[in-house]
């Protein structure tokens, strides 16, 4: 089953959006298999955003992502990588569709609330950067069994 790495960025944590964001992915039908509140070190930030090294916004990006706690998550489900990207909306919140996370809550590109892996390769790389194997839980859900 496909997995992706999602992260509520420091602005999303500060603005009390963790619950809403988790809820959107739960309601869509995806399964959370790992999560933690953490502060990203400078070196982890540089590794995570290595593809952007040398770009004019790189230093500001690293500074922002390390500026406060983030909520890091791994989600599982059918086509979760591309679907999560759709649910997040475009990088620039001012052009992101209403109904997406960035479209509903963001205003500027440098504070765009959420990160999501953009491909299978990124997902695999980012999951292993942020989580140990033991932190990812395999389990099944059976709602009927938990109602009575």
Contact set with ligand RTP (CB under 6 A) = 52, 57, 61, 91, 109-110, 112, 115-116, 118
CB 75 within 8 A of CB 25: yes
**Shorter beta-carbon distance to ligand RTP: residue 77 or 116:** 116
The answer to whether the annotation marks 145 as part of a ligand binding site is no
Which of 64, 60, 16 lies closest to 39 in space, CA to CA? 64
125 has binding-site annotation: no
Could you confirm whether 52 is annotated as catalytic? Answer: no
**From CA 148, how far away is CA 139, in angstroms rounded?**
20
* Three-state DSSP state, 76: strand
Q: How far is the CB of 82 from ligand RTP (least distance, A)?
A: 12
Q: Which of 76/109 has CB closer to ligand RTP?
A: 109
Cβ 5 to ligand RTP shortest distance, Å: 9
35: nearest Cα among 140, 141, 130, 139: 130
Residue 134 CB, nearest approach to ligand RTP (Å): 26
Measure the CA–CA gap between 96 and 103, rounded to whole angstroms.
4
Which residue, judged by CB position, is nearest to ligand RTP in the bound state?
A: 91
Q: Does 85 show up as a binding residue in the annotation?
A: yes
Active site residues: 115
């Amino acid at each position: 089953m496909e997995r992706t790495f999602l992260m509520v960025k420091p602005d999303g944590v500060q603005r009390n959006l963790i619950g809403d964001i988790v809820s959107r992915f739960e309601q869509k039908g995806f399964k959370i298999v790992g999560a933690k509140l953490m502060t990203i070190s400078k070196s982890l930030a540089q590794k995570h955003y290595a593809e952007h090294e040398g770009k004019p916004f790189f230093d500001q990006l690293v500074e922002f992502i390390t500026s406060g706690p983030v909520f890091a998550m791994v989600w599982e489900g059918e086509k979760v990588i591309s679907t999560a990207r759709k649910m997040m909306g475009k990088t620039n919140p001012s052009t992101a569709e209403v109904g997406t996370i960035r479209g509903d809550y963001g205003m500027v590109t440098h504070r765009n609330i959420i990160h999501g892996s953009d491909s299978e390769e990124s997902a695999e790389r980012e999951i292993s950067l942020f989580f140990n194997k033991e932190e990812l839980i395999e389990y099944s859900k059976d709602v009927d069994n938990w109602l009575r």
